[in-house]
Chain A
């Protein structure tokens, strides 16, 4: 009887130690679900979902506070990916939050007009605008996510939305299914 109790106690202590060690050693800093959701979001940090950035939106989804259809930059593919991840039904994009852009855009600053007020720099969520007070500002195109948050604060309206540049290295072949739909000549061989 006594031996049994002691044995069980010893085993309990050993497992307790192992679990305690594992809890410290393999501690997961943040909620993994939030991380997973955040990974699927487009990271434009545009705030169209009404949350201040993609991560807060991911947290809201994880807590059940927000629906999965509030992200216009992600559009349908993001909604489907989120539905897959969370085991929910896909929903159509909520039009309250905006529409899907036809093509990807970035912004450029008209440097002739810019007065160097720094308001756009403060608005940019990804620090993609460089410049200093009373100095010309410019957009680092490679880092611009096309969130358009810099446009409302600009006092002189010198920021324009332009489509993302296509080059030979990021060019895509057209979808033949769409060509068929428009019933035009399918690309290619004789």
Chain B
């Protein structure tokens, strides 16, 4: 039995925003055609980039693994259509940094031939162990499809924690975005099945689905799919942004708060996105890895806003062209919604696993950026903050770049929902300040780590140099001592021979130093002549010597 009238708790703050969702929910989900080129970034998730396992020039099939996970916090990447790998190079991706990252580029052949599924298709998930399910989800490359892109197999590993409640997040609160809504309407069974698989993997006692009360059709579809079973509770939550934030939804449903800087698992709760549940069902029941997702194409820049099943890696420009979006009139393209999305710098970038919405705005509808005015400390931002932070204090310290003080105000609990930006009468880009502060603090931590490493390396180097010097000195001393000890008795036979020869010559010289026999009893004149000859000889020797 599913109660829809369960009492919900209300998180602090939040906003009622214009939804703009109905413009994209009037038509069923369409399947996007195969693009001529697929660009698959190696990093589409939080963690280490995947390591390519294909080479340039290789032919790949649809659903074939093309990059393996690197370590536990990483996931696998698959080809989303068949074709040839034409490059593994840096390409632009949807990321606020505008940096290029390594991507595998596949030229598609249009045949969309799939590899044979390695896992038997109609396998009963209950026969699989928890570890097997996690492993298969990792191999299927599933990440949180709600936006953050955290590898799902990690969130399905309860470890030693006891999981009380598994929550499926179907709230999707941000304006314009309707991909989860449409997915639920059309594939509610798949989501419920995915939920059951995840429940099995986590051994969760209790399951809940939180859905905003404005999604009537989706609610009905889920109710039909649950089909009266009493272990899944479908709960309507009031439509209020950001009801789809993980912590906000958990609080709304259970009244519990995950600890600051902790995880919901610490209070026995695991929360997954509805799209992720459908992907898990695909992976476990049908053996299909995550190679496509539902993307909302909306905004004034799209003539007929819609939702599409898009192959991961499809260039965004290709989708816009497919929707007949007027390229010249587009002022900007946001990835994600208007509240938390970021500006896309190049439409050549591909759709990634975390890309839930492409919001194109026409020139005439673009809002001109207004110059921020000084903070008047009105406190409106405090009223709307769903995390009970003090944005004006955070702003104060971020502006002064006092990063110690800003952490005392729990900067890292900020979910960057943008409510404070919306209500600020001075139009201060508060979230920008918080993002800037967060990344700067992370950079400082990295610098600190690096300087510690440098210190250690420098100390080790000094030690090594000292040791080398000591060894050299010791060697020198040893040699000196050895020379002093036995200066004549050399081990070297050559030296010994030379020494012996020199000795012989000396002996001979000594022997020959006696006066010649005929020089006895000389007359003084004779003696004088001999002396004269000796003198001349000496002189001659002295002359020749320098030359």
Contacts and interface: CB of A to CB of B under 8 A. Distances in A.
A176 B457 contact: no
A177 B371 CA distance: 11
Interface string A141-175: 00101000000000000000000001110111111
8 contacts: A44-B454, A55-B458, A171-B95, A172-B440, A187-B342, A187-B432, A188-B429, A190-B365
B343 A45 contact: no
Interface string A50-68: 0001110000000000000
A166 B97 contact: yes
B41 to A, nearest CB: 9
A188 B431 contact: yes
A171 B439 CA distance: 7
A168 B97 contact: yes
Given A45-B458, A143-B457, A166-B99, A176 B429 contact: yes
Interface string B430-460: 0111011011101100110011111101101
Contacts of B43: 168
A180 B436 CA distance: 14
Contact of A189 (B97, B341, B371, B399): B341
A126 interface: yes
A189 B439 contact: no
Contact of A173 (B339, B421, B432, B446): B432
Interface string A30-45: 0000000010011111
Interface residues of B, number: 50
B399 A177 contact: yes
A167 B99 contact: yes
Nearest to B460: A127
Nearest to A167: B99
A190 B333 CA distance: 9
Contacts of B432: 173, 176, 179, 186-188
A172 B436 contact: yes
A143 B454 contact: yes
A: interface residue count bin:
35 or more
A125 B361 contact: no
Given A168-B43, A190-B359, A125 B458 contact: yes
Nearest to A124: B461
A128 B455 contact: no
Contacts of A177: 399, 433
B367 interface: yes
B369 interface: yes
A180 B371 contact: yes
Contacts of A176: 372, 429, 432-433, 436
Task: Please list the 10 inter-chain residue pairs (A to B) with the smallest Cβ-Cβ separation, ordered nearest first.
Answer: A43-B451, A171-B97, A43-B454, A172-B439, A126-B457, A176-B432, A173-B435, A173-B436, A43-B455, A145-B454
Contacts of A172: 436, 439-440, 442-443
A143 B457 CA distance: 9
B72 interface: no
Contact of A190 (B97, B332, B450, B460): B332
